[in-house]
Amino acid sequence: MTLLHLGANAIARLLGPAEAADAVEAILRGGLDPESGPPRTGVPVPAGELLLMPAAADGFAGVKIAGVAPGNPARGLPRITGSYLLLDGGTLQPVALLDGPALTSLRTPAVSAVAIRYLAAPDASHLVLFGAGPQAYGHLEAARAVRPLKRITVVARRPGPAEALAAHARGLGLEAGTGGPDAVAEADLVICCTTTRTPLFDGRMIAAHATVVAVGSHETQARETDTALVTRATVVVEARSAALREAGDILVPIAEGAFRPSDLAGTLADLVTGRLRPEPGRPRFFKGTGMAWQDLAVAAEIFRAAKAT
């Protein structure tokens, strides 16, 4: 069996954010139980951390080997490295090798897009976007694919990248500029994709109709949102097991005694299958840490698209 090599350009050509979100939804509608997925394995290495994320479902198996190298940006190199090996589920023969960072840059926004489809107001038009790296660009595209965005406010530590992302958004025909954390008070949708370890904004400022998505960390003590938001919001996660294992946004409020595991409203699977219908009158909060089944769902769809061309 010929092994397909799918680089970043091929991935971008074969699958867009809406199609990737459809793939994530489809695997959940098909009955996949995210709670049964194996935890990611993190191995400390001299340059940072090596992550291993295996999964099997829907006729395929696969594993992502990702490197997190905090010192790389200073060298002009990507912070996230790695590859994804996709295998035939029946024989475990390798069928494709995908660029790992490109897959992650598509998969994570796709998962967020699924959450936004079910949580955000249908007419959500003002996005406040924290971060200005690859995930911020990917999330802008994904959010545009599922909601009628008109206005973007970029909030980032460095003015240069923040303005570059705002300029990119203006090039897409959106009203866009940079701002500070207080911009969340006027937001319909807030997306956080940063490497911060402390909350980015005051959760009391989030409007009752707004939705917040946070995907920047998978560490027990790192969080982009504060306890005020978590206790106010309808909280949805990818899987309870993953959130209670590695989502600081959830675990810190639990440790403070302000939130209980039973306070979690539900999961993406609950949203997709209709088991969860968020109540009106309070913010909605989706916390994602990234799970191996998501990489598999999107990688398999990319492979199908490649074979069809």
pLDDT digits (tens, 9 = 90+) for 114-127: 999 999 999 999 99
Alpha helices in the chain (DSSP H): 8-14, 17-29, 100-119, 134-146, 159-171, 227-232, 240-246, 248-255, 268-273, 292-308
> Domain 109-291's class?
alpha beta
* Predicted pLDDT of residue 80: 85
Q: Give the pLDDT confidence score for residue 36 in this predicted structure.
A: 86
In the chain, domain spans: 4-104+293-308, 109-291
pLDDT at 106: 95
Residue 71 to residues 80, 97, 155, 201: CA-CA distances in angstroms?
A: 10, 26, 23, 27
Low-confidence ranges of the chain (pLDDT < 70): 1
CA distance 108 to 104: 6
Main-chain dihedrals φ then ψ at residue 292, nearest 5 degrees? -65, -35
CA–CA separation, 291 and 53 (whole Å) = 7
As a whole number, the mean pLDDT across the chain is 95
CATH number of the 4-104+293-308 domain: 3.30.1780.10
Sequence-distant (≥ 6) Cβ neighbours of residue 248 within 8 angstroms: 197, 217, 219, 220, 221, 222, 223
Identify the pLDDT of residue 1: 65
What DSSP state is assigned to residue 210?
A: -
Q: What angle do CA 65, 252, 188 make, to 5 degrees?
A: 85
Name the pTM for this structure. Answer: 0.94
